[in-house]
């Protein structure tokens, strides 16, 4: 896998055009119209404008573009070299070699596989929040903790928990920053799908709960996702549910994870759209969710 950086005049002039057209569609247009991506056999993804693939027999080459950074990988080294040569002909490209860091994600290689983590991003977040001296915790969420809205607390007469947060922006920014960590830390997905529901009218308690997650991350900063070297290529899926997880709406939660061989490739924790009347109904809805994901992956 290789990474390169565009430094041609085409990318230097995109500052104003990003505002008008958006970064991703503009990069897509450059690759298709100016680099001859279509003529080279690369096809843009229908689901991601910055992703391009080229299939030759049983081999594949993948190019991912983010602004002026580019990732290149594939199953055939010769095809990768051809793609690099094509890029060098069209742009002034700096080849950075094997991928080590991209968009806050560190890539570490070993004999066991490739580890993806966000250690540097996490350390920067801890420092920004002033939690460098805070005591780490071993769980991202307190046992049996239920997050509720201000309206629910008033109706239920939970006066001790009715403590609105004055600075809404600080909570919204914090959720956005920590949410990005779910890219390599799937174990905090449930916590943030719960906490993100209080973006419009947060209380002080959800804010403290979010800071607890950061303290949990401090306990194991280097954790991440290991993409193992394995001859197995079968898909395995697991799903679970939590009936009536939210006291405010009485809706349940569906959770699932999908593994390719021994490597985790997809996961989700999501509140169900309707209220279920039994635990069996919740489980069936959770199974339906993971089947939809498997259908899309296949």
Kindly report the length of the chain. 298
pLDDT at 257: 92
Query: In 10 A of CB 212, how many CB atoms?
Result: 18
pLDDT for position 34: 52
What is the predicted pLDDT for the residue at 290? Answer: 93
Single pTM value for the model: 0.74
What letter would DSSP give residue 29? H
Do the domain assignments include residue 272? Answer: yes
Q: What pLDDT tens digit does each residue of the chain (298 aa) get?
A: 444 334 344 443 333 333 333 444 445 555 554 554 555 678 888 888 788 888 988 899 998 888 778 888 888 889 988 888 888 887 777 888 888 888 889 999 988 899 999 999 999 999 998 888 888 888 888 777 666 665 666 655 655 555 666 667 777 888 888 889 999 999 888 887 777 777 666 566 667 778 888 899 988 888 999 998 888 788 999 999 988 777 777 888 899 999 998 899 999 888 888 898 898 999 999 999 999 999 988 8
The pLDDT score that the predictor gives to residue 259 is 92
Range of the domain at 247: 230-297
Q: How far apart are CA 76 and CA 179, in angstroms?
A: 35
Q: How far is CA 72 from CA 33, 55, 254, 281, in A?
A: 19, 14, 35, 44
Cα(40)–Cα(54) distance, integer angstroms: 8
DSSP state of 106: E
* Residue 193 belongs to some domain of the structure: yes
User: 57's torsion region: left (phi>0), alpha (psi -120 to 50) or beta?
Assistant: left
Domain assignment present for 71? yes
- Boundary residue ending a domain (219, 240, 262): 219
Report yes or no on 79 lying in a domain. Answer: yes
CATH of residue 45's domain is 3.30.310
| Cβ 181 vs Cβ 122: under 8 Å | yes
The verdict on 193 and 122 lying in the same domain is yes
Pair (133, 189) in one structural domain:
yes
**Using one digit for the tens of pLDDT, what is the confidence trace for 211-252?**
888 899 988 888 999 998 888 788 999 999 988 777 777 888
Could you give the CA distance from residue 104 to residue 132 in angstroms, rounded to a whole number? Answer: 19
Q: How many domains does the chain fold into?
A: 3
Identify the burial level of 15 via C-beta atoms within 10 angstroms of its C-beta, where 0-12 means exposed, 13-18 middle and 19 or more buried. exposed
Tell me the pLDDT tens digit for each residue of 6-43.
434 444 333 333 333 344 444 555 555 455 455 567 88
Same domain, 196 and 243: no
Helix spans in 197-278 (H): 204-219
Residues 213 and 179 in one domain: yes
Q: Do 91 and 179 reside in the same domain of the chain? A: no
Residue 224 domain-assigned (yes or no):
no
């Amino acid at each position: 896998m290789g990474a390169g950086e565009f430094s041609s005049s085409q990318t230097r002039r995109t500052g104003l055009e990003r505002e008008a057209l958006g970064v991703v569609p503009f990069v897509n247009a450059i690759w298709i119209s100016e680099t001859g991506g279509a003529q080279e056999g690369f096809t843009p993804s229908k689901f991601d404008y910055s992703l391009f693939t080229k299939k030759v027999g049983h081999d594949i080459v993948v190019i991912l573009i983010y602004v002026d950074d580019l990732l290149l990988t594939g199953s055939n080294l010769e095809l990768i070299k051809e793609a690099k040569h094509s890029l060098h002909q069209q742009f002034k490209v700096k080849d950075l070699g094997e991928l080590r860091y991209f968009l806050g994600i560190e890539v570490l290689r070993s004999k066991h596989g490739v580890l993806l983590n966000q250690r540097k991003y996490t350390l920067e977040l801890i420092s920004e929040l002033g939690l460098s001296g805070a005591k780490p915790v071993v769980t991202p969420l307190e046992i049996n903790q239920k997050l509720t809205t201000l309206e629910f607390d008033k109706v239920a007469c939970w006066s001790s928990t009715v403590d609105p947060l004055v600075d809404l922006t600080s909570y919204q920014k914090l959720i956005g920053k920590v949410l990005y960590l779910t890219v390599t830390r799937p174990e905090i997905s449930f916590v943030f799908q719960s906490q993100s529901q209080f973006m419009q009218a947060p209380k002080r308690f959800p804010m403290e709960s979010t800071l607890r997650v950061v303290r949990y991350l401090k306990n194991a900063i280097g954790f991440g996702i290991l993409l193992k070297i394995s001859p197995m290529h079968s898909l395995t899926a697991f799903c679970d549910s939590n009936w009536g997880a939210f006291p405010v709406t009485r809706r349940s939660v569906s959770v699932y994870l999908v593994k390719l061989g021994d490597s985790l490739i997809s996961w989700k924790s999501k509140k169900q759209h309707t209220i279920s009347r039994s635990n069996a109904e919740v489980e069936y809805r959770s199974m339906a969710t993971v089947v939809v994901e498997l259908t899309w992956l296949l």
